Amino acid sequence: MTKIEKNINLDFYNKVIQLLNVARKSVIQTVNKTMVYTYFEIGKIIVEEEQKGKTRAEYGKKILQGLSERLSKECGRGFSVDNLENMRRFYLAYSITEKSSRKSIKENSETVSRNSDRIDFKLSWSHYLFLVRVDNPDERQFYEIEAINNNWSLRELQRQFDTALFERLALSRDKKGVKKLSKKGQLIEKPKDTVKDPYILEFLGLKEESIYSETELEQKIIDKLEHFLLELGKGFTFVGRQVRFTFDDKHFRIDLVFYNRILQCFVLVDLKIGEISHQDLGQMQMYVNYYDRKVKLENENKTIGIILCKKKNETLVEITLPENNEQIFASKYQTVLPSKKELRELIENKEDKEPTNR
């Protein structure tokens, strides 16, 4: 066989293999989607049957036990009482909207039955099993939208929930903005939309009270760059570390430089293992000014600077930065998972302080 024939055969084989791989992936996606819709309908039938019982709690247990025994005999594994309860919970979570939750379950069931084709399930059953355990409907809808838009695996969805992404984004928004999160997910429209406070860096493996230098922190981030990019959020690409620039024979280095494709601007990150100072803010302002005047192109937007620090004095930051600041941000970082309860309390305190319309 000649070299040309070998190349032709290799190309031929690759085309067939690629076609089969695409077909298999499509079949898996179709099967997963069909499974999710089927489990939703099973949950619906269970709820409707429960409504016939005089004592719903006791009747519900009996029908789940009986159904489990019959399905396990006829269809095999996967239909335990717990799994059937998950299907029931799935139906209730995704059929009762805020508007219809004040109606009876029976009325709502009829409404959903007439409009079931409007419900579009795009995630796997494993994703929905996790989501139905999120009690807050707004929070649940936010994570569903983000999982779909960002193609999150179940593991990544769990990580984003454990790091309280919804609460952290909500801290920088008013009530209207929080509601928008639940309806549309995270929208990147202005510099502030990219910033979180705090950033959660538990993937670095640094203990809360461990001693490390800024250089070591930077190296840990580089070693886990893919994780750090996910924590930064949408649209970020890595440009470089310890990026040097010079003027008047003086050399300066920026810890980490990124570019955000959505906002079309550079994002400079400076790491501080202690408490932030006004000198740190002034230094970042100089970095940002240099990039705006010497590096960015005319069609690109203004540079963003983020100082990641272990401690932050809100008053110092507020007084140091201009009132109309849209470029320099200071955020704390944590090396351990936060308490969702504490973050929710911060949100509630923030809402109490918001001015009300009279």
Do 110 and 232 belong together in one domain?
no
In a domain, 289, yes or no: yes
Which residues, at least 6 apart from 156, have a Cβ–Cβ distance to it below 8 Å? 147, 150, 230
Lowest average pLDDT, out of 13-22, 95-104, 290-299, goes to 95-104
% of the chain exceeding 90 in pLDDT: 44
Return the CATH number at 329. 3.40.1350.10
pLDDT of the residue at 298: 93
Q: Are 273 and 213 in contact (CB under 8 A)?
A: yes
In a domain, 155, yes or no: no
Do 202 and 309 belong together in one domain?
yes
Do 116 and 203 belong together in one domain?
no
What is d(CA 88, CA 72) in angstroms, rounded to the nearest whole number?
A: 17
Domain count, the chain: 2
In a domain, 352, yes or no: no
In a domain, 236, yes or no: yes
**Number of C-beta neighbours around residue 345 at 10 A:** 12
- Per DSSP bridges, beta strands 250-260 and 236-247 are antiparallel
In a domain, 162, yes or no: no
In a domain, 323, yes or no: yes
Over range 302-315, report the average pLDDT: 94
Do 211 and 110 belong together in one domain?
no
Using pLDDT thresholds of 50, 70 and 90, give the confidence band for residue 16.
confident
Do 103 and 229 belong together in one domain?
no
Do 116 and 222 belong together in one domain?
no
In a domain, 357, yes or no: no
What is d(CA 68, CA 192) in angstroms, rounded to the nearest whole number?
A: 51
The residue range of the domain holding 229 is 195-336
Angstrom distances, CA of residue 10 to CA of 20, 74, 226: 15, 47, 33
Picking from 123, 152, 168, the residue at the C-terminal end of a domain is 123
Do 223 and 93 belong together in one domain?
no
Do 118 and 237 belong together in one domain?
no
SS3 content of the chain, % helix, strand, coil (to 5): 60, 15, 25
Using pLDDT thresholds of 50, 70 and 90, give the confidence band for residue 346.
low
Do 116 and 199 belong together in one domain?
no
Secondary structure of residue 331 in the 3-state scheme: strand
Torsion angle defined by CA atoms of residues 146, 151, 156 and 159, in that order, rounded to the nearest 10 degrees? 0
Over range 262-286, report the average pLDDT: 95
Which stretch, 119-128, 143-152, 284-293, has highest mean pLDDT? 284-293
pLDDT at 116 over 70: no
Type of residue found at 49 = E
What is d(CA 316, CA 20) in angstroms, rounded to the nearest whole number?
A: 60
Do 222 and 96 belong together in one domain?
no
pLDDT at 4 over 90: no
Do 226 and 99 belong together in one domain?
no
- Per DSSP bridges, beta strands 265-275 and 250-260 are antiparallel
Do 332 and 252 belong together in one domain?
yes
pLDDT at 112 over 60: no
Over the stretch 51-106, which tens digit does the pLDDT of each residue have? Answer: 775 556 566 677 888 888 888 888 878 788 899 999 999 999 998 643 343 343 34
pLDDT of the residue at 99: 36
Using pLDDT thresholds of 50, 70 and 90, give the confidence band for residue 47.
confident
Tokens 């109490």 -> residue = 352
In a domain, 201, yes or no: yes
Which residues, at least 6 apart from 346, have a Cβ–Cβ distance to it below 8 Å? 167, 171
pLDDT of the residue at 108: 42
